[in-house]
Amino acid sequence: MLKNYYEIHGFYDKVFDDLGIELAELDWIMCEILGKKRSQLPLCGNFLESEYKEIETAISERLKLKPLGYIFGKSEFFGRSFYVSRDVLIPRMDTEVLIENAKDLILKQKENVIDVSVLDIGTGSGAIAITLQLETGARMTASDVSFEALEIARKNADNFGCEIEFVESDVFKNLKNRKYDIIISNPPYIESKVIEGLRPEVKNFEPLLALDGGADGLKFYREIIKEAPKHLNENGIIIFEIGYDQANFIVELLGAEFFNIKTIKDYGGNDRVVIARLRRGL
């Protein structure tokens, strides 16, 4: 049995490195199981046998390339911990750029309209809808085609005490005659042919339904943009998270019905968010 922090690292560092797994994840596993901060780990002394068994089990799962979020059933996003399962994508840091810009827009609108209505299409774990509701107090509706994903989203909303309307819907199918001030979406945007080349953590564990954006990755953007004018109030806003190389295509798709189109980069300097305003109300 490996007895302590140093022995764990001495035995597993090269194994993790060979698999392309960040060594910091070893610390993350021990922090989670021991309930310690990272700085405290070297001072913990020898593990209890029960602690070591839990650590060993989690490491074994990670060596199968199962993401930590699915091993522990939770993931951090915008300073909060969200429940996740293999029915939903694990929230990404890049999506925080979407949140920051949506938050600013909602708060600006609330200066004139107290009750700002927002629709989150493809909510998954509910991380976007819940975060925006908590940060802005907006009236949120969150939809997803997956019943299982909505169950996770409801669990997260209950955990944070959020009042969000959840709707099982394929894009706008079950939202007929509904209008919103803002529509936000982080839809599946990976090209079908690219999925097989993704890291095993993604292609083997995360839901294909939430990854596959069709032949060119733009399937759901087309569907949403086509129908969105019917579901936006006058001067309504649409906000997308996008793939790093999709901005020009999405701007072109938006051009007919939307104006004041902006593209915003993520922390790595890649195009990540597109924002546009409806030309007219329908």
Tell me, what's the pLDDT at 279?
A: 87
Say which residues have a Cβ less than 8 Å from residue 170's Cβ, sequence separation at least 6.
145
On the 0-12 / 13-18 / 19+ scale of CB atoms within 10 A, 159 is: middle
Rounded to 10 deg, the angle between the 24-34 and 5-18 helix axes is 140
Select from 195, 197, 203, 169 the least CA-distant residue to 183. Answer: 169
* pTM attached to this predicted model: 0.93
Q: Which helix (H) or strand (E) holds 58?
A: helix 49-63
Tell me the pLDDT tens digit for each residue of 72-113: 999 999 999 999 999 999 999 999 999 999 999 999 998 887
Token digits for 116? 């700002």
Amino acid identity, position 265? K
pLDDT score, position 2: 87
Residue 5 CB coordination number (10 Å): 22
Amino acid 282: pLDDT: 47
- Relative to beta strand 139-144, strand 165-168 is parallel
- Asked if 171 and 223 touch (Cβ cutoff 8 Å), the reply is yes
Residues of the chain under the 50 pLDDT cut: 282
Phi, psi of 111 (to 5 degrees): -65, -25
What is the third-level CATH fold of 75-278?
Rossmann fold (3.40.50)
Domain ranges of the chain: 5-64, 75-278
* Whole-number pLDDT of residue 114: 78
